[in-house]
Structure 1
Amino acid sequence: MRLIRLIFVVLLALVLIAVALANRQVVTLNAFPAQFGQYLGGTWSVQLPLFLVILLAVLIGMVAGLVWEWLREAHLRREVSYREAELARLKQSPGHHAPNLRPQDEILAIVDAPKRMPSSPRPIPSAEPAPGTTLPSAPRG
């Protein structure tokens, strides 16, 4: 696994160096359209090599994706911390049992349920009365 990671990093470095060498010309990067920038006071532009603009755009996109996912998963982290605190509280209370923590999936609940073995075999029901028993007679009218 280490070798694969090393090969990937070396290939990525070679691609980034090739992009940097192929795009060394200086470009002007404007933050706003030309007419809008004059109302804000200043030029709001900078001259950078093109490879730096490309790499900065990729870096900003990666950071934006990281922040987006971190915010999207905040409710999951909150739920995990709540459940960990609840579990710790239940483990520390000596006289209390944990609530019935059954699986939410019905199939898993059936599979995980303990199997009950019958203590004695059940008799097979039949239409005949059991030996030694009598049926009550019908009243005569």
Structure 2
Amino acid sequence: MRYVRYALLAIILIVVVLLAVANRELVTLRLMPEQLSGVYQLSHELPLFVVILVTLLLGVFLGYVLEWGREMRQRREASERKRLIAKLERENAELRRRHAAPKDEVLAILE
């Protein structure tokens, strides 16, 4: 399984390098539309592959954050169930200890 992961990472690396080499021309990245910018215009000249990779990384990061938030309820429920199981196991051990049959038959008759 480790080799499959390494092969997948190598393929992704090759695709990223090819994307970077194929998209080296500069593009103007404007943070506001020209009609809304007013006096101050925020814009930067960047290579196209940087814009694409940053956008992809932001999308992956946002996906991870949203997934983490979605799974928070399941993690909380699992934690609560783990505490309940530990409590019930302690109760079970206490009841077994308290109600266990005596080892000696003579003592059992005396009780």
TM range (shorter): 0.7 to 0.9
User: For structure 2, which runs of at least 5 residues remain unmatched after alignment?
Assistant: 97-111
Cα distance between partner residues in 1 of 2:6 and 2:73: 36
Aligned to 1:17: 17
Match of 2:45 among 47, 55, 59: 47
Aligned-residue Cα RMSD (Å) equals 1.8
Q: Deviations over 1:15-49 (max 9, x none)?
A: 111110110111111122122222xx632222211
Match of 2:72 among 71, 74, 78: 74
Identity of aligned residues (%): 38
Cα distance between partner residues in 2 of 1:47 and 1:24: 12
Aligned to 1:2: 2
User: For structure 1, which runs of at least 5 residues remain unmatched after alignment?
Assistant: 97-141
**TM-score (ref. length: structure 1):** 0.60
**TM-score (ref. length: structure 2):** 0.74
Aligned to 1:62: 60
- Following superposition of structure 1 onto structure 2, how do residues 100-111 of structure 1 map, counting pairs within 5 Å? none
Aligned length: 94
**How much has 1:4 moved relative to structure 2?**
2.0
Secondary structure of 1:54 counterpart? helix
Cα distance between partner residues in 2 of 1:95 and 1:79: 27
Larger Rg: 1
Q: Which runs of 4+ in 1 moved over 6 A?
A: none
Structure with higher RCO (Cα < 8 A, 6+ apart): 2
Secondary structure of 1:17 counterpart? helix
Structure with the larger helix share: 2
Secondary structure of 2:36 counterpart? helix
Q: Deviations over 1:85-140 (max 9, x none)?
A: 111222223239xxxxxxxxxxxxxxxxxxxxxxxxxxxxxxxxxxxxxxxxxxxx
| Amino acid across the alignment from 2:87 | R
